Amino acid sequence: MASLDPLVLAWTAVGVAVLAILFAAVAWQRMRVVDRRLARLLDSGTPVGPGAERLLELEDELRAVRSDLAGALRHVAVVRYDAFGDMGGRMSFSAALVDDAGDGLVISSIHARGESRTYAKGVVGGDSEVVLTPEEREALDAARGGPPS
């Protein structure tokens, strides 16, 4: 096997080193461009680059969805009970449906042997203008995340 000339080996190493330095310089320059664009995007909210406008649109849509979600009746709790001593099976119930602000309604259905009655009471800010029964209050507290009464 023939040995490599040390001079050829040295020049090859120099060539590889020069190429590595060139690649590093190009990478460093590209990184500076990306860093500047990112800083402008984060600091001023100004669209930078092709995807940044879409990113800003998505942030606006996300804000709107969060606002809509806060107004949705998404906090729900149901309390079942026996309204009358001679009835079993906890056929009566009170259900509370409220949004993040505590606005919504409480629906109660009182079941007796021969009939059933249903009532709805509005809730604003976590309370009702109409007096709530203990079961309705328990359902409302549970829907709002409070401890059961």
**What is the tens place of the pLDDT at every residue in 19-37?**
888 888 888 888 888 888 8
Query: Would you say residue 81 has pLDDT above 90?
Result: yes
Considering the chain, what percentage of its residues have pLDDT values greater than 90? 36
Q: pTM higher than 0.85, yes or no? A: no
Q: Please tell me the distance from the alpha carbon of residue 33 to that of residue 27, in angstroms, as a whole number.
A: 10
pLDDT the model gives residue 15: 80
Please state the rounded mean pLDDT for residues 73-97.
Answer: 88
Contacts 24+ apart (CB under 8 A), 42-47: none
Please compute the mean of the pLDDT values over residues 51-59 and round it to a whole number: 81
Reported as type and span, the H/E element at residue 62 is helix 52-70
